[in-house]
Amino acid sequence: MDFKKIPGKKLKKLILSVADPVEKENRFDVVKILVDIGVPVDYIQQIFQSRVVKYFQKYKDVLEKLLMLKAKDLAVKFIRRILKNDILIVDEFLEFKVIVDYLAEIVQKNPKYKIPSGKFQDVCRKIEADYRKLHVENYDLPIDKNFDNIKLENGLVLEVPRRNHELIDMGVLMRNCLVYTEFGRRIWKEKSIIVFVYRNGNPVYVLEIDPDFYEIVQFYGPCNSKPDKDDEKIVRRYVRILRIGLE
């Protein structure tokens, strides 16, 4: 083991304090990878002074991929998350492993890909969305003109997505199931209408509407939150007027 690249006496002690030679070698490898990624020394010390260390050793392959991807910020955000909340660690690592695998495939197909910035969960969702867009066709969607660029009260504007990937992107912004669920096929088969609701150019709600009866199936804000009561009344009144026109 070459300790020349291991900064600080504390890290060296944390490695050398292990009696088992295999365990010692494993610790050395993890420390070296974390140092090479660019993880701050104090974070590395916290890892090896807590119960999470065994998981970093178990999922060493994830760290190696982060090093290969030069994903320092993503690694640091994950470590910070684990150190602050060390419950359900196995689930956290397994979920993160999937994200890192997604990222590796994205970068393999697009070496110029820039890892998103922002909060840890938002970055992971964006990576997953970009991965899904690699595997989902970006086809045109039918447009219902009754929901296309419709201006309502309270500054609300209704829009419909033009392309399938817009659904995935909106799922990231609104943190909802549009990221994961294949609504595009339902729209294309005219079994569903998805409507984006904006205010001042920012998305505030997403609607799912039954195209046969113009009934609202789902009406949610970010993270599937309930809509503002006044906004909901305005939108529902407009949809009701359309429904009456069908009768």
Per-residue pLDDT reduced to its tens digit, 166-210: 999 999 889 888 877 778 888 988 899 999 999 999 999 999 999
Q: Would you say residue 2 has pLDDT above 70?
A: no
- Work out the pLDDT band at 222, boundaries 50, 70, 90: very high
Per-residue pLDDT reduced to its tens digit, 6-37: 777 777 877 777 778 888 888 889 999 999 99
User: Averaged over 121-134, what is the pLDDT?
Assistant: 93
Could you give the dihedral angle defined by the CA atoms of residues 63, 64, 69 and 73, in that order, rounded to the nearest 10 degrees?
20
User: Averaged over 215-228, what is the pLDDT?
Assistant: 96
Q: Would you say residue 100 has pLDDT above 90?
A: yes
User: Averaged over 117-135, what is the pLDDT?
Assistant: 92
> What local confidence, expressed as pLDDT, does residue 182 receive?
79
> What local confidence, expressed as pLDDT, does residue 167 receive?
95
Per-residue pLDDT reduced to its tens digit, 130-154: 999 999 999 999 999 999 999 999 9
Give percent of the chain with pLDDT exceeding 90.
65
Token representation of residue 98 = 């999937």
- C-alpha separations of 163 from 26, 107, 195, 203, 238 in Å: 48, 24, 13, 17, 24
User: Averaged over 219-239, what is the pLDDT?
Assistant: 96
Token representation of residue 99 = 């994200």
Could you give the dihedral angle defined by the CA atoms of residues 115, 119, 121 and 125, in that order, rounded to the nearest 10 degrees?
-40
Closest CA to 27 of 42, 40, 14: 14
Q: What is the spatial distance between Cα 243 and Cα 245, in angstroms, rounded to a whole number?
A: 5
Give percent of the chain with pLDDT exceeding 70.
96
User: Contact at 8 Å (CB) between 40 and 78?
Assistant: no
> What local confidence, expressed as pLDDT, does residue 27 receive?
86
Q: Would you say residue 247 has pLDDT above 60?
A: no
Q: What is the spatial distance between Cα 147 and Cα 92, in angstroms, rounded to a whole number?
A: 40
> What local confidence, expressed as pLDDT, does residue 165 receive?
95
- Work out the pLDDT band at 123, boundaries 50, 70, 90: very high
Token representation of residue 170 = 């909106």
Q: Would you say residue 104 has pLDDT above 80?
A: yes
> What local confidence, expressed as pLDDT, does residue 87 receive?
64
Q: Give the DSSP letter string of the chain.
A: --GGGS-SHHHHHHHHT--SHHHHHHHHHHHHHHHHHT--HHHHHHHHTSTTHHHHHHTHHHHHHHHHHT-HHHHHHHHHHHHH--SSHHHHHHHHHHHHHHHHHHHHH-TTPPPP-SSHHHHHHHHHHHHHHHHS---B----GGGSSEE-GGGEEEE--SBHHHHHHHHHHHTSGGGTS-HHHHHHTTS-EEEEEEETTEEEEEEEEETTTTEEEEEE-GGGPPPPHHHHHHHHHHHHHHHHHH-
